[in-house]
Structure 1
Amino acid sequence: MNETSYDVKIWNIETRPGKTKTSYRVTWFVAGERFDKKKATYALAESFRSDLVAAARRGEAFECARGLPVSMLRNENDLPFFAFACKYVDMKWTRAAGKSRAGNADTLASVLPAMLATIRGKPDDRVLRRALTGWAFNTKRREDPKPPEIEQALKWVQANTLPTSRLNDPAKLREVLDQISLKLDGKQAAAKTVYRKRAVFNNALEYALELKILTANRLSEVKWTAPKTVRAIDKRVVINPAQGRNLLTAVEAQKVDTAPRRSSGPMLKAFFAAMYYAGLRPEEAAMLCKPDLQLPEAGWGELLLSTTAPTTGAAWTDSGERRDRRQLKQRAEGEVRAVPSPPPLTAVLHQHLKTFGTAADGRLFRNLTGGDLAESTISRVWDNARKTALSESEYASPLARRPYDLRHACVSTWLAAGVPATQCAAWAGHSVAVLLTTYAAVIAGLEAEAHERIERALDWDDDADTSE
Structure 2
Amino acid sequence: MSRSYDVKFWKTKRNASSKKPSYVVRWPVDGKVHSKTFGGSELAENFLSDLRQAARRGEWFDTDTGLPESMLKARNARTWLEFARAYLNVRWPHQAAKSREGIVETLVAVTLSLTTERKGRPDTELLRKTLRNHVFLPKDRQPEPDAQSEITLRWLEAASLPITELNETRHARAAVEALTMLLDGQAAALSTFRRKRAVFHHALEYAAELGDLDTNPLDRIKLKPAKSNNVVDWRVVVNPGQARELLTAVTYIGRTRGPMLTAMFACMYFAGLRPAEAQGLRKQDCLLPEKGWGQITLIKTRPQSGTRYTDTGRSFDERGLKHRKESEDRVVPIPPELVAILRTHIETFGTAPDGRLFYTRGGGTFSGTAYATVWHMARPLALTPDRVASPLAGRPYDLRHAAVSLWLNAGVHAPEVAERAGHSVDVLLKIYAKCIDGQREVANQRIDKALES
User: Which interval holds the TM-score relative to the shorter structure?
Assistant: 0.7 to 0.9
Amino acid at match of 2:101: A
Which residue does 2:422 correspond to in 1? 429
Contact 2:230 2:431 in 1 (8 A): yes
Aligned equivalents of 1:105, 1:311: Cα separation in 2: 16
**Identical-pair percentage:** 46
Cα offset for 1:84? 1.0
For the structure 1 residues 359 and 226, does the alpha-carbon distance in structure 2 shift closer, same or farther, using more than 3 Å as the test?
Answer: same
Q: Is 1:326 matched with 2:325?
A: no
| Match among 270, 273, 283 for residue 280 of structure 1 | 273
Which residue does 2:302 correspond to in 1? 309
Aligned equivalents of 2:447, 2:82: Cα separation in 1: 62
Aligned equivalents of 1:237, 1:292: Cα separation in 2: 30
SS in structure 1 of the partner of residue 94 of structure 2: coil
For the structure 1 residues 376 and 162, does the alpha-carbon distance in structure 2 shift closer, same or farther, using more than 3 Å as the test?
Answer: same
Cα offset for 1:76? 8.4
Alignment of 1:29-428 (within 5 A): 79-139=78-138, 141=140, 143-184=142-183, 186-256=185-255, 263-428=256-421
SS in structure 1 of the partner of residue 351 of structure 2: coil
Per mean C-alpha deviation after superposition, the further-off stretch among 275-284 and 122-131 is 122-131
For the structure 1 residues 333 and 206, does the alpha-carbon distance in structure 2 shift closer, same or farther, using more than 3 Å as the test?
Answer: same
Aligned equivalents of 1:377, 1:143: Cα separation in 2: 28
Amino acid at match of 1:159: A
Which residue does 2:65 correspond to in 1? none
Aligned equivalents of 2:155, 2:301: Cα separation in 1: 40
Cα offset for 1:434? 1.1
Aligned equivalents of 1:140, 1:359: Cα separation in 2: 34
For the structure 1 residues 184 and 300, does the alpha-carbon distance in structure 2 shift closer, same or farther, using more than 3 Å as the test?
Answer: closer
Amino acid at match of 1:152: I
SS in structure 1 of the partner of residue 332 of structure 2: strand
Aligned equivalents of 1:311, 1:270: Cα separation in 2: 20
Aligned equivalents of 2:280, 2:186: Cα separation in 1: 37
Cα offset for 1:205? 1.6
For the structure 1 residues 331 and 243, does the alpha-carbon distance in structure 2 shift closer, same or farther, using more than 3 Å as the test?
Answer: same
SS in structure 1 of the partner of residue 297 of structure 2: strand
Aligned equivalents of 1:212, 1:158: Cα separation in 2: 22
Cα offset for 1:457? 4.2
SS in structure 2 of the partner of residue 307 of structure 1: coil
Cα offset for 1:185? 5.0
Cα offset for 1:143? 4.5
Cα offset for 1:91? 2.0
Per mean C-alpha deviation after superposition, the further-off stretch among 367-376 and 244-253 is 367-376
Contact 2:237 2:401 in 1 (8 A): yes
Measured against aligned partners, the alpha-carbon deviations of 1:149-204 in whole angstroms (never above 9, x if no partner) come to 22332232123211112111111122112222234454544444333322222222
Contact 1:311 1:324 in 2 (8 A): yes
Contact 1:279 1:410 in 2 (8 A): yes
Which residue does 1:446 correspond to in 2? 439
For the structure 1 residues 79 and 298, does the alpha-carbon distance in structure 2 shift closer, same or farther, using more than 3 Å as the test?
Answer: farther
SS in structure 1 of the partner of residue 280 of structure 2: coil
Relative to the length of structure 2, the TM-score reads: 0.80
For the structure 1 residues 184 and 346, does the alpha-carbon distance in structure 2 shift closer, same or farther, using more than 3 Å as the test?
Answer: closer
Contact 2:247 2:262 in 1 (8 A): yes
SS in structure 1 of the partner of residue 331 of structure 2: strand
SS in structure 2 of the partner of residue 358 of structure 1: coil
Q: Which runs of 5 or more residues in structure 1 are unaligned?
A: 1-74, 257-262, 461-468
Cα offset for 1:272? 0.2
SS in structure 2 of the partner of residue 323 of structure 1: coil
Alignment of 1:12-31 (within 5 A): none
Amino acid at match of 2:411: G
Which residue does 1:4 correspond to in 2? none
Q: Which runs of 5 or more residues in structure 2 are unaligned?
A: 1-73
Per mean C-alpha deviation after superposition, the further-off stretch among 291-300 and 190-199 is 190-199
Aligned equivalents of 2:137, 2:434: Cα separation in 1: 40
Cα offset for 1:208? 1.4
Per mean C-alpha deviation after superposition, the further-off stretch among 275-284 and 391-400 is 391-400
Measured against aligned partners, the alpha-carbon deviations of 1:38-57 in whole angstroms (never above 9, x if no partner) come to xxxxxxxxxxxxxxxxxxxx
SS in structure 2 of the partner of residue 340 of structure 1: strand
Aligned equivalents of 1:332, 1:192: Cα separation in 2: 21
Aligned equivalents of 2:409, 2:186: Cα separation in 1: 39
Cα offset for 1:140? 5.9
Aligned equivalents of 2:332, 2:144: Cα separation in 1: 46
Relative to the length of structure 1, the TM-score reads: 0.77
Aligned equivalents of 1:445, 1:120: Cα separation in 2: 62
Contact 1:366 1:373 in 2 (8 A): yes
SS in structure 1 of the partner of residue 98 of structure 2: helix
Aligned equivalents of 1:438, 1:169: Cα separation in 2: 37
Aligned length: 380
Larger radius of gyration: 1
Amino acid at match of 1:440: A
Cα offset for 1:453? 2.7
Aligned equivalents of 2:225, 2:121: Cα separation in 1: 29
